Chains A and B, each alone.
Chain A
């Protein structure tokens, strides 16, 4: 079955860049959209963006200026970089397979990785 696993530092300093990678197994990374979603502790879900294997992207307008995403089809991985982080970026970050716009389903999700922004 399709599985996703997030990886990356759990602690990032303010003003630095958060970098996460999602590794996909059980599915072709070239056949779907892939997405990042985050959830601040005790709060709701916030969509970060989509990436397609071709490099096509859609980003949350509120985060767009700070986001960079990429896909490595040979490694079956896709990545997120979020620059100039602040404490407000502290959250559990999930990666998920996606239906792509405007079909906004996400299935399955990775287990999530907590990223804390603190000096």
Chain B
């Protein structure tokens, strides 16, 4: 089963802008929306971005999402120490009658 490809790690200093990429294919990101989840240490994941670039209520506008072709990106501006977490992208894959596929996750470290 295919997996959306994310870099295993990313880092930045407080105040910086960091981007995390998510690469897929025509059967998933290329034809469906992308959602992003934030998982703080020891907690359940939380919806961060949905439908490529929309933020649920309560998510700071420092977080933004974009999609182009078969890739998507999560950008975090004004990086804060509390942003240190694992980030996962997810999409629907149209193959095999359809299923949800997650990226492998990116561990963000705030230096």
Contacts and interface: CB of A to CB of B under 8 A. Distances in A.
A105 B32 CA distance: 12
A59 B99 CA distance: 7
Tier of interface size on chain A = 20 to 34
A112 B98 contact: no
A103 B96 CA distance: 17
A84 to B, nearest CB: 19
Interface string A35-63: 10100000011110010000000111110
Contacts of B101: 47
Nearest to A62: B1
B37 interface: yes
A13 B77 CA distance: 47
Interface residues of B, number: 28
A88 B82 CA distance: 32
B20 to A, nearest CB: 14
Contact of A47 (B50, B56, B99): B99
Given A45-B45, A47-B99, A112-B44, A103 B33 contact: yes
A109 B43 CA distance: 10
A62 B93 CA distance: 13
B88 interface: yes
Interface stretch (B10-18, B64-72, B102-110): B102-110
Interface string A105-117: 1111111100000
Interface of A: 35, 37, 44-47, 50, 58-62, 94, 99, 101-112
